[in-house]
Structures are given as C-alpha cells and as structure tokens.
Amino acid sequence: MTRWRMTVEFDGAPFMGWQRQDHGPSVQQTLEDAIAKMTGEDIRVHAAGRTDTGVHGLAMTAHVDVEKELTPHRLREGANALMRPAPVSVTAVEPVADDWHARFSCIGRRYLYRILNRRAPPALDRGRVWHIAQELDVEAMAKGAAHLVGRHDFTTFRSVHCQAQSPLKSLDRLELAVDGEEIHIRAAARSFLHHQVRSMVGCLALVGRGQWAPDDIRDALEARDRNALGLNAPPDGLYFVKAIYPDD
C-alpha cells in the first residue's frame, strides 16, 4: 500500500464542489472514479479542504492510498487520461509517509478572490471572476478588511450550514491588490468556515461601492449574527490557491 500526495487543479463551474454529492458531480468523485478504474480498487481521496459549487482550485492538495504498484508518472498520466474531458487535472504526484494526511497534516490554507472591475463584462473569464461594473474604492475596502484580520468570532461571515464546531477563527491575512482591471483579494488562515471568504468579500464590495463605510465591517463582525451580513459574493471568482504543510 502506498500513500500518494497529489496536487489537483480544477475548474469548479460544472461541479457541486469538491466533496462527493448524491445530487450532482463533484471533483472528488471524478478523481476517485478515474483512479478506481485504473487500479480496480475501492478508492477514497482525501483533500486539504472542501470547496463550494462553482469554486475553482489552482492547487488543491489531496492524498489517496493505492495497493497496486505504480510510479508517480503512471498515476498522474493515467488519472488525467481517464478524467477527460472533465476540467480536472492532477499536476503533481509523490509518495508520502503512511501517517501523512492531506487534511489533518495541513497547517494553512490560501484563497484568492478575483473581481473584474470594469464596465464591459468578461468574455474569456466568464464564470472565473466576479464582474462589478461600478468603480470600487479599493483603499476603503482595505480599511474594512483590516477589521477582520486576527482571531475573531466569525459567526456573521459563516454559512448557516457550516459544520465547524466553533465560529472562532484566526485570519492571518486579508490583502487587496489591483492587477490591471482586476482587484485581487488574498486570504490566509489555518482553516476557514463555510462561506467565510465569500461573505467577507461580499461585504468588502459593499464598502467599495460606498454602500457601507469601512467601520461597518467591524460592526458586522461584532454583531456575531448572520443576519448582519450585507452580501455573500458569488463563487465564480473564488480560487483555492494552496495548502501549507510543515515540510513545505
């Protein structure tokens, strides 16, 4: 039995998220079915985190246990061939220790949110950015974002369907940068609540539009009430960037 660490890239648009679902296709199911067909084994893939419907992955880390003797090259190439034409790609494979776990060994997760801030709608990046035609005040958004960094009760920014035991999370970084016609929002933490990034981005967009003041972000946070949330951003612009491990 070999435990393989995999790096997985995917377009989330046609999927119900990473986790296998009874009511639609998922990235996990696509990957598991491919490796099962390749090996003839009952396969279970574990990932560093879950993603919502429509959320993309630049470099999701996952692992799988396989009894069949394989090389990293054969596992990667075989899985990719059997997943076509689904927009999922295994970009790297390596053997790891039997006690290494994609989720439980992870000490940090990074997300990127892309806002296309121009009048014209996207043609090539439709479904991969959140298009906001109104010019946004990035400086005000950055001031609002500063209220969210640190350890807080993020109940306001947590989905009512979140399964986490506690709303307390430590947000290490929430940074904004302008890249051409896009505004990039990067979030870093050990772990996130369900919808946390999308909820934070949605409220920052309200600040950028002038509908909220930067301090309204603090007030929403301190309310500890989902009803205080101003807006939940769509999944289109959200990307799981990478997972962090002690040996990386």
Instruction: Note whether 236 and 128 are within 8 A (CB).
Output: yes
Distances (CA, A) of 154 to 186, 231, 238: 17, 15, 19
- Residue 189 bridge partners (DSSP): 109, 171
Amino acid residing at 56? H
DSSP secondary structure, 143-175, as one string: HHHHTTSEEEE-GGGS-TT---S-SEEEEEEEE
What are phi and psi for residue 208, nearest 5 degrees?
Answer: -60, -30
Catalytic residue among 52, 65, 98, 236: 52
Please state, in angstroms and rounded to a whole number, the distance separating the CA atoms of residues 248 and 242: 11
Instruction: Note whether 80 and 90 are within 8 A (CB).
Output: yes
What's the CA angle centered on 50, arms 233 and 46, to 5 degrees?
Answer: 165
215 is catalytic: no
Please state, in angstroms and rounded to a whole number, the distance separating the CA atoms of residues 105 and 177: 30
Of 86, 82, 12, the residue nearest 47 (C-alpha): 12
Distances (CA, A) of 158 to 8, 172, 186: 26, 17, 18
Active site residues: 52
